[in-house]
Amino acid sequence: MAEKSGADILVECLLDLGVEVVFGYPGGAVLPIYDALFNHPTIKHVLVRHEQGATHMAEGYARSTGKPGVVLVTSGPGATNAVTGITDALMDSIPMVVITGQVPTQLIGTDAFQEADTVGITRHCTKHNYLVKDPAKLAGVIHEAFHIATTGRPGPVVIDIPKNVQIATAPYKRPEPVAHASYHPQTKADAAGIDAAVEMLAAAERPVFYTGGGVINSGPEASALLRELAAMTGAPVTSTLMGLGAYPATGPQWLGMLGMHGTYEANFAMNKADLIVCVGARFDDRVTGRLDAFSPGSRKVHIDIDRSSINKIIDVDVAIVADVGSALSDMVALWKARGHEAADLSAWWTQIDGWRAKKSLDYAENATEIMPQRAIADLYKACNATGKDIIITTEVGQHQMWAAQHFGFDAPNKWLTSGGLGTMGYGFPAAIGAQMGNPDSLVICVAGDASIQMNIQEMGTASQYRLPVKIFILNNEYMGMVRQWQELTYQSRYSNSYSDSLPDFVKLAEAYGWTGIRIDGPDDLESGIRAMIDTPGPVIVDCRVAKLSNCFPMIPSGAAHTEMLLDPSQVKGSMTDEAKALV
């Protein structure tokens, strides 16, 4: 059999696996792979400006297309720069394969130039990782890595390939489908769990669907099934930050997001429910608030593909270990087979309407300053009017929460945000990745003035590949979320949360060959957003918003769902040590 070099085997495998885009950055330890990719006819390589950018681009690509994101970086600093994005992908269950170069096998362990213990460093921030020391094993490992990254609970997988393994040759044949000795994620639910869940749903008086990123990960069919099951049962639906879009924001049973910055109705419904059906979410601390006060009167069903998520934080009555889509389809089928009808939930809906009447997302408008909430609401309106497919990414902070609250998502895979790790610097590269995977979509990164500077160097990448991404900065000249916590907890001592020495974002845009737009006040808001949407090519918008706005509603750390702060008048300005010690 003809032999191929390790680098050629890698490229061959990527082709066999249908990889179309690789986000990467070259260096000494990956030169053989870069040579194999030189002018490659089908695999497109996107040259980033920093390896962290590559990882978030891969995440954005993956989250918006459902395909795994692929990253290629060199050894040492290339690999260590990728660690944040790898961890982000682990926390948010994003399928990603990261190929790292390594020093040649005979130099491993000698503190060679640009040597880092990549498998050691990434062991606990990957779903799995490999160091491949034999080119004959490379093909099997690469196929296995993609299998592991994309099945079960998706996640990042690192393949560390020493330089001599990229050059050495071995016989190559396309590997057989992966039959793994120990990795067999359970995707089909046990019948008993489905049965119990369906009967509990049929009997519940105050049910709530609490959905999360698992519905998105399970694919668009899972979202369709969620909508079907929700319609059949008549139960209200809330979602975590990661699950937005699985159930439409315009749907009649939508309660809005729950949790720390969730709506009054979503959090109160969780608190007063008699049944919670958790679908692909994980009872994160941002969602539950104080644990001993979390939904005290409900029975709980938890559907999750990862058994370790079940009973980790909250004990549940029915555990369903399965792929969300598969479990929902079983539930829909059984509901129909049993001839169940939607129960009369009118009393429950009346109660919910009472909470809705609080209008917890309302805010005081301001004639002279742009309220950040208004900016998002207007952005939403303008995007809707385009009739285009819209993808929104965010950075991390108040703007992220305002985007989650005031932009409505009606479809999955259109909302990309860093939930678990909360990584500032995620949103802009994620937008580039999403635009690569969705060339015809309007991709907008809602950013903060501080976060955008974390990976702003990727403006060059967008220019190079002519990607018409838009960055919409809610510029409050603060690390607003930090400042908000200081206002709530530390009597407004704003220690190091002022964004001093901000660049002139319009000039920066021009420096990179982008279009820059400044929106100074309410009168320019609509036209500025219009101009951003209508301008071809990449655009940065510096939208000057009210500087000291806070994001409400808010459940302070350690408080219960029923102890929400709805507006600034409820802020006390200090907290107990117990509350201060919480995240």
Ligand X SMILES: Cc1ncc(C[n+]2csc(CCOP(=O)(O)OP(=O)(O)O)c2C)c(N)n1
Contact residues for Mg ion, defined by CB under 5 A: 448-449, 476, 478, 480
Binding residue (CB under 6 A) for ligand X from 207, 480, 516, 528: 480
Compute the least distance from the CB of residue 450 to Mg ion, in Å.
Answer: 5
Q: Which is nearer to another protein, 141 or 424 (CB)?
A: 141
Considering the complex, what minimum distance in angstroms separates the CB of residue 402 from ligand X?
8
Taken as a whole, the chain contains a residue count of 583
Q: Are strands 3-5 and 44-47 parallel, antiparallel or unpaired?
A: unpaired
DSSP H helices, 423-549, are 427-437, 459-464, 480-489, 505-511, 522-534
Q: Which is nearer to ligand X, 52 or 75 (CB)?
A: 52
Q: Which of 60, 46, 52 is nearest to 445 (CA)?
A: 60
Active-site choice (4, 12, 23, 51):
51
Please give the backbone phi and psi of residue 55, each rounded to the nearest 5 degrees, phi first.
-70, -40
Active site residue 435: no
Pairwise CA distance, residues 3 & 151, whole Å: 31
Asked if 395 interacts with ligand X (CB under 6 A), we say yes
Interface with ligand X in residues 442-471 (CB under 6 A): 448-451
Residue 478 in contact with ligand X, rule: CB under 6 A: yes
Q: How far is the CB of 186 from ligand X (least distance, A)?
A: 34
By the rule CB under 8 A, 292 interacts with another protein? no
For every residue of 525-561, DSSP letters joined together read HHHHHHHHHHS-S-EEEEEEB-TT----SB--TT--T
Q: Note whether 398 binds ligand X by CB under 6 A.
A: yes
Any idea which residue has 């932009």 for tokens?
407
Which entry of 20, 44, 67, 114 is annotated as an active-site residue?
A: 114
3-state secondary structure of 372: helix
Place of tokens 């994001």: 551
Cβ closest to ligand X, residue 158 vs residue 396 = 396
Give the relative orientation of helices 372-386 and 398-406 as an angle to the nearest 10 degrees.
50
Question: By CB under 8 A, what part of segment 143-172 binds another protein?
Answer: 148
- Closest approach of Cβ 480 to Mg ion, in Å? 4
Q: Which is nearer to ligand X, 217 or 398 (CB)?
A: 398
Q: Is 113 a catalytic residue?
A: yes
Rule CB under 6 A: say whether 107 interacts with ligand X: no
- Contact status: 399 vs ligand X (CB under 6 A): yes
What is the identity of the amino acid at 250?
A: T
Our answer to whether residue 114 is catalytic in this structure is yes
Q: Identify which range of 120-128, 212-220, 233-241, 544-552 contacts another protein by CB under 8 A.
A: 120-128
**Whole-angstrom Cα distance, residue 75 to residue 73?**
7
DSSP notation for 18-59: T--EEEE---GGGHHHHHHHTT-SS-EEEE-SSHHHHHHHHH
Alpha-carbon gap, residue 18 to 41, rounded angstroms: 13
Near another protein by CB under 8 A: residue from 183, 465, 490, 494: 183
The entry of Mg ion, another protein, ligand X, none near residue 269 (CB within 5 to 8 angstroms by kind) is none
* Partner whose footprint covers residue 423, from Mg ion, another protein, ligand X, none (CB < 5 to 8 Å by kind): ligand X
- Does position 422 interact with ligand X (CB under 6 A)? The reply is yes
| Separation CA 455–CA 85 (nearest Å) | 12
Which is the catalytic residue, given 163, 300, 414, 470? 163
Report which secondary-structure segment, H or E, holds 267: helix 264-272
The CA-CA-CA angle for residues 85, 411, 344, to 5°, reads 125
Q: Do 261 and 404 form a contact (C-beta atoms < 8 A)?
A: yes
Q: Is 177 helix (H, G, I), strand (E, B) or coil?
A: coil
Question: Which of these is catalytic: 96, 260, 270, 481?
Answer: 481
574 binds, among ligand X, another protein, Mg ion, none (CB under 5 to 8 A by kind): none
State the Cα–Cα distance between residues 505 and 459, nearest whole angstrom.
Answer: 12
Q: In the set 39, 182, 350, 501, which binds another protein (CB under 8 A)?
A: 182
144 given a catalytic annotation: no
Catalytic: 283? no
Name the site residues for another protein (rule: CB under 8 A): 119-120, 123-124, 127-128, 131, 148, 180-183, 306-308, 310-312, 315, 577-578, 581
Residues marked active site are found at: 51, 113-114, 163, 481
Name the site residues for ligand X (rule: CB under 6 A): 395-399, 422-425, 448-451, 474, 476, 478-482
